[in-house]
Chains A and B, each alone.
Chain A
Amino acid sequence: EDKVVQSPLSLVVHEGDTVTLNCSYEVTNFRSLLWYKQEKKAPTFLFMLTSSGIEKKSGRLSSILDKKELFSILNITATQTGDSAVYLCAGRYNNNDMRFGAGTRLTVKP
């Protein structure tokens, strides 16, 4: 059984669109949820969320965690072609285990 599940697996939008990426996680020993962007090589860190209901923002990207419903969303507004990437969600657990979702492949067309 997967600990972290992302949806959709892929998404194609046009520049200027707003997208919402979803991530659900298993609660047992949960500590924090992280979002990463992966283009061609190594993932780069976007957000870490530990508290429910507090939105984290960075430019056009924002993310929030719902610890009651066990999910997080990543929003990207006014998408640009440079946002095209795989977005990975990961749950970090108290035993230092890290579990990644399969990722959402976002393609932004001009």
Chain B
Amino acid sequence: NAGVTQTPKFRVLKTGQSMTLLCAQDMNHEYMYWYRQDPGMGLRLIHYSVGEGTTAKGEVPDGYNVSRLKKQNFLLGLESAAPSQTSVYFCASSPPRTGWTDTQYFGPGTRLTVL
């Protein structure tokens, strides 16, 4: 199992450009999440999904869109990148609550710089 993978690992954008970050998991998890992490701060939830075809806003959703067309993939889109979106982006997945585990499995992160 590859676990949670993210593509790309690094990216540099110019202000106003668009891009899509791809997260894939092979653990058949129902829930998937996108976070951003900035220096000196913990992870902040951008959007999440509790199943194929469903998405919901997290703590900091503005400027981002997401889609979950397939259970194993969760896409994060930036339509018009801004320097404030320079960050490290982490994807995570978790199974539905089973009564004994609630943990999330994280991808390796994508470092995005917007000039």
Task: Give me the interface of A with B, judged by CB distance under 8 Å.
Answer: 4, 6, 31-32, 34, 41-45, 48, 50, 88, 90, 92, 96-103
- The binding surface of chain A is classed by DSSP as strand
The smallest beta-carbon distance between B9 and chain A, in angstroms, is 10
Contact of B45 among A32, A48, A97, A102 (CB under 8 A): A97
Interface with A: B13-21, B77-85, B96-104, which one? B96-104
Could you tell me which residues of chain B, from 46 to 63, have a CB within 8 Å of some CB in chain A? 48, 50, 56, 58-59
**Chain B positions within 8 Å of A43 at CB level:** 43, 90, 106
Among residues of B, the one whose C-beta sits closest to the C-beta of A92 is B102
Bound Cα distance from A66 to B109, whole angstroms: 32
Bound Cα distance from A44 to B107, whole angstroms: 10
Most buried by B among A34, A98, A102: A98
**Chain A positions within 8 Å of B29 at CB level:** none
Q: Assess the B108–A42 pair: CB atoms within 8 A.
A: yes
Bound Cα distance from A2 to B90, whole angstroms: 20
